[in-house]
Structure 1
């Protein structure tokens, strides 16, 4: 378990983070909605051991970065990460984002590509990808449907939908239970605001697309292969893993991430 000993004071929130330090390329981990930094424990250890400077954090309103008394939006989340990067003096960090964190990473790179060196997106929707009429309807109806689910049942339901291993599900129930339903819904709404179709857009930094083969969340299983084809890269699909691939298959996810970042390092030597 990594202790988040760093604190960045933001409007309405004290963001907690851990910075391994060192001279290696900085890598910032951005977790999914309702989760926290612990979903990246294995990947953090792997990258630190390989000489990277790894930064873990709990997003505003999540984990130890609570309470949050300010409005939560896609823009606020993006501004928070920009503030943290500046606070730590990180020069062109690589971003690793899962689900909401992947949406957030895409937004950050899209609006300031020169500030980042690479992006790894794990089990996340394609912000700028095309949406069918059915997919648009599903996006709009998700929050109303979630409102109908009893608060006591929501953590287990979300965990079962997100992971396939018992260990991962148990860990997700723990973190999902820590966030009140009303706050989770606000986070979910913020996540949907990252979707901004632009079929001509291509990622301007090296990109890794990674997902669990059993991820059935939203349109990820169909959109991520389309995204990879549009970018001219091969997605990495990990067997026997669901939406939270870092917990279902920690070793395989760590290996894929390390291979990607190591390749980026070698290409810039």
Structure 2
């Protein structure tokens, strides 16, 4: 991790049997930007981005979702602690702890789902929303969801990390970073989260969200490309949605195409 990011403060908050961690980078009074990672990754995914946006006038909050990075359980983990709704409440606990009223929410994959979930009950805490590697609805066969925990447990964390890295990018540097982050997660918690996000439909949340939405589509992100039809059909009929293509980016667009990711996101934020 960059020594400059280390100058930002790592903070912890105890909430609902969880010890939640986040990095707080930038000036306290600046507009707040929250960067939320995907499943089995952690806040280190946004280390360089946190520096960039803090230098461009933002206070950047980078959480580790429950079971990821430095965020760990303090008691027995139940399925209800790992739902999209529960992860969203964790984020609210973090921004409450940081004494932030409203954030620009940016999420990758699972992080995007958490933000979409917040739109229903915590719309007033979001100034805008951006995502990449996130489809707003997904229908996975029940058999595949049933098999997932067994496959993860059979493979073990090291092999899950290696296969996960291969699936998110064609770029070796991105794969190395993802492999490292995957190796740092709590696999049992990740499994509990994964089985709950196989089937969902959050499109209405986004349609009803009357604040700016940015969808950064990595054209090399083959993991969600086949599922985007319903999302784009619904959202492109609204006036608050913007689609931007990142030609050389996979599932973790900020790692594959950092300069384009940052410039497009900054343009979006500055236009609000």
Equivalent pairs counted in the alignment come to 257
2:150 equivalent among 142, 147, 152: 147
Query: What's the TM-score once normalised by structure 2's chain length?
Result: 0.85
CA contact (8 A) 1:103 1:126 kept: yes
| 1:60 corresponds to | 66
1:121-160 paired onto structure 2 within 5 Å: 121-127=131-137, 136-138=139-141, 141-142=144-145, 144-145=147-148, 147-148=150-151, 150-151=155-156, 152-160=158-166
1:110 equivalenced with 2:93 (yes/no): no
Distance 1:200 1:240 in 2: 26
Distance 1:260 1:25 in 2: 14
2:19 equivalent among 14, 22, 44: 14
Moved more, 12-21 or 99-108: 12-21
Deviation at 1:239, TM superposition (A): 1.2
Moved more, 17-26 or 190-199: 190-199
Q: Against the structure 1 CA distance between its residues 198 and 228, is the aligned structure 2 distance closer, same or farther, given a 3 Å change threshold?
A: closer
Query: What's the TM-score once normalised by structure 1's chain length?
Result: 0.86
Q: Against the structure 1 CA distance between its residues 159 and 230, is the aligned structure 2 distance closer, same or farther, given a 3 Å change threshold?
A: farther
Q: The residue matched to 2:85 in structure 1 has which SS?
A: helix
1:95 equivalent among 94, 100, 105: 105
Deviation at 1:143, TM superposition (A): 5.4
- 1:239-265 Cα offsets, whole Å, 9 max, x none, are 11110111111111111111111111x
Q: CA RMSD in A?
A: 2.4
Whose strand proportion is higher, 1 or 2?
2
| 2:95 corresponds to | 85
CA contact (8 A) 2:39 2:111 kept: yes
| 1:225 corresponds to | 232
Q: Against the structure 1 CA distance between its residues 177 and 200, is the aligned structure 2 distance closer, same or farther, given a 3 Å change threshold?
A: closer
Deviation at 1:182, TM superposition (A): 2.8
Gaps of 5+ in 2: none
Q: Against the structure 1 CA distance between its residues 200 and 119, is the aligned structure 2 distance closer, same or farther, given a 3 Å change threshold?
A: closer
1:41 equivalenced with 2:47 (yes/no): yes
Deviation at 1:140, TM superposition (A): 6.3
Deviation at 1:200, TM superposition (A): 9.3
Distance 2:190 2:63 in 1: 18
Distance 1:234 1:200 in 2: 12
